[in-house]
Amino acid sequence: MESIIQVKNLSLQFPLRYGTVQALRKVSMDIPQHMVTALVGESGSGKTTLATALMKLVSYPGEITEGEILYQGRDVIKMTPKELSSFRWEEIAMVFQAAQSALNPVMRVRDIIIETYLAHRPKTPVKVIIDRASRLLEFVRLEPERILNSFPHELSGGMKQRVMIAFSVLLNPKFLILDEPTTALDVITQDYIFEILAQLRE
């Protein structure tokens, strides 16, 4: 089966004041297209670091020291800022761990969505954006009008997580990364999220 992402001998480190932390050491993996792939490991083993590296979003002072990350044959590590701006969210998107905190607390959900969409596709009419967002919010079983006019603090943790799932597929990416998407949610909400993700895959 053809791979959508190939990681080859990837090493990543964090130079700190008292020494260097080797977060990833010569990691290699192939992720096939149209498949759900799970990365399993203990807390602190580098799962989130690897996930952010796939989007070239490693936080400072982290640095990739070796290897390749090939997305459909293109090396993500060598992409220019302009290439990365269209690559992220249009080709590959991510729902971060504790994604509830990723929403701007001083903006309504509607404005967050419009701002993000226009940053990638500036000529899109606002009505088209809202129609797309409304369909996605309905898909994750939320009431579009209420959610779009809400501030993040007015939503529960489970609702915010579902907003982030809808948000992550707003630009129809080909590859979606989910970093512990049910962390800090109750069991019923976790089951709800997993059901939505299964439908999203289909």
Query: What pLDDT is recorded for position 43?
Result: 86
Looking at residues 48-58, what average pLDDT do you find?
94
* pLDDT score recorded for residue 31: 93
Of 115, 162, 98, 106, give the one whose Cα is nearest residue 136: 162
Cα radius of gyration rounded to whole Å, the chain = 18
pLDDT, position 99: 64
Helix axes 157-168, 109-120, angle to 10 degrees: 20
Together in a domain, 111 and 147: yes
CATH number at residue 129: 3.40.50.300
Question: What is the strand order of the sheet 3-16 is part of?
Answer: 19-32, 3-16, 63-71, 74-75
Q: How confident is the model at residue 189 (pLDDT cuts 50, 70, 90)?
A: confident
| Share of residues in the chain with pLDDT > 90 (%) | 64
Distance between CA atoms of residues 146 and 102, nearest Å: 19
Q: Indicate the SS3 state at residue 95.
A: strand
Q: How far apart are CA 3 and CA 41, in angstroms?
A: 22
The one-letter amino acid code at 59 reads S
Q: What is the pLDDT of residue 198?
A: 83
| Mean pLDDT across 114-134 | 95
Mean pLDDT, all residues of the chain: 91
Q: How much is the pLDDT for 122?
A: 94
Question: How would residue 180 be classed by pLDDT, with cut points 50, 70 and 90?
Answer: confident
Same domain, 81 and 103: no
In a domain, 37, yes or no: yes
**Could you tell me if 43 and 118 lie in one domain?**
no
Task: Return the pLDDT at 80.
Answer: 94
Task: Answer yes or no: is 25 within a domain.
Answer: yes
Mean pLDDT over 99-126 rounds to: 91
Give the whole-number percent of the chain exceeding pLDDT 70: 98
- Residue 197 and residue 114 in one domain: yes
- Structurally, the chain folds into a number of domains equal to 2
35, 115: one domain: no
Task: Decide: 32 and 2 in contact? Cβ < 8 Å.
Answer: yes
Q: What is the pLDDT of residue 100?
A: 64
